[in-house]
């Protein structure tokens, strides 16, 4: 019987760290979790110090630079060879959360090439590279899965990309935020394309979705904290987990918000 594992990337701040702590509480201790940190800005000790000590044994804390395909590929190879080999393990829940608001352009004249490129690297290309190198760990049509869903895990392997409502073209009524909007719209397209691939190759055993967490009080939104109602990272993590756990097969390939309502393309 294949053993499920969880992938959460990155894992050190904001929603991602709150999600990691929520998963530690809601999933069985025998389900291992692979969590990542950026070596240039954090460390294993810094990540582990934010978590309950009794959970450390189930965690694999690994360095990962999301702006480097070689870093992503190297970690994937390590997972395949010695951490969670496909013969004995399958990826049951992937929460891929890279993202940044580099430049909130209010007009086209404010678009900066380098800032826009950095935005696309973090918001679109990093999730795409994670899909390229880590989707192989999702269960195949023939993977011997547990007869009953594991407590705290979705009924089918689920790959989640953190998107945003501003990535919706049909919902764009205010304009602005050129690079951020475009990068999230691109990500939504990636999610849909990836889910089509999964349905063909892995059938009902795996699906992909996008997720809009709402406005959360993190470093990404710091510029907009004043006068806004926001979720704490802990509130956002709980809502995200609940929505993902409630998704059914017919909801695959689309983007959902914190209320469980679809964010239209």
Return the pLDDT at 146: 87
Number of domain units in the chain: 1
Q: In whole angstroms, what is the distance from residue 117 CA to residue 157 CA?
A: 32
The CATH number that applies at residue 11 is 3.40.50.720
Q: pLDDT tens digits, residue range 47-77?
A: 999 899 999 999 999 999 999 999 999 999 9
- Per DSSP, 231 falls in state B
Q: pLDDT tens digits, residue range 155-183?
A: 999 999 999 999 999 999 999 999 999 99
Return the pLDDT at 230: 83
- Whether a cis peptide bond, with omega within 30° of 0, leads into 10 is yes
Sheet of 262-263: strands edge to edge?
59-63, 33-37, 3-9, 89-96, 157-162, 206-212, 255-257, 262-263
Return the pLDDT at 28: 96
In tens digits, what is the pLDDT along the chain, a chain of 265 residues? 999 999 999 999 899 999 999 999 999 999 999 999 999 888 999 899 989 999 999 999 999 999 999 999 999 999 999 999 999 999 999 999 999 999 999 999 999 999 999 999 999 999 999 999 999 999 999 999 988 889 999 999 999 999 999 999 999 999 999 999 999 999 999 999 999 999 999 999 999 999 999 988 876 655 665 656 789 999 999 999 999 999 999 999 999 999 999 999 9
Query: Helical H runs in the chain?
Result: 14-26, 44-49, 69-78, 113-120, 126-134, 178-202, 233-246
Cβ proximity of 110 and 103 under 8 Å: yes
Return the pLDDT at 189: 98
Q: In whole angstroms, what is the distance from residue 2 CA to residue 48 CA?
A: 27
Q: What is the extent of the structural domain holding 52?
A: 3-263
The model carries a pTM of 0.94
């Amino acid at each position: 019987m294949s053993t499920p594992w969880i992938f959460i990337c990155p894992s050190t701040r904001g929603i991602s760290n709150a999600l990691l702590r929520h998963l530690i509480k809601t999933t069985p201790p025998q389900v291992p979790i692979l969590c990542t940190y950026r070596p240039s800005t954090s460390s294993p000790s810094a990540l582990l110090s934010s978590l309950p000590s009794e959970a450390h044994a189930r965690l694999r804390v690994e360095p990962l630079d999301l702006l480097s395909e070689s870093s992503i590929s190297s970690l994937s190879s390590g997972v395949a060879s010695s951490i969670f080999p496909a013969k004995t393990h399958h990826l049951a829940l992937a929460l891929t959360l890279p993202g940044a608001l580099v430049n909130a352009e209010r007009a086209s004249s404010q678009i900066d090439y380098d800032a826009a490129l950095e935005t696309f690297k973090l918001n679109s290309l990093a999730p795409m590279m994670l899909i390229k190198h880590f989707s192989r760990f999702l269960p195949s049509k023939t993977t011997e899965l547990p007869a009953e869903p594991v407590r705290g895990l979705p009924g089918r392997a689920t790959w989640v990309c953190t998107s945003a409502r501003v990535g919706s073209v049909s919902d764009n009524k205010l304009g602005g935020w050129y690079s951020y909007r475009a990068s999230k719209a691109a990500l939504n397209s990636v999610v849909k394309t990836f889910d089509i691939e999964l349905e063909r190759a892995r059938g009902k055993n795996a699906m992909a979705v996008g997720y809009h967490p709402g406005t959360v009080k993190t470093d990404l939104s710091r510029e907009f904290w004043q006068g806004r109602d926001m979720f704490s990272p802990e509130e956002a993590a709980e809502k995200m987990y609940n929505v993902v756990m409630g998704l059914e097969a017919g909801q695959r390939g689309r983007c959902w918000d914190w209320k469980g309502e679809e964010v239209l393309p």
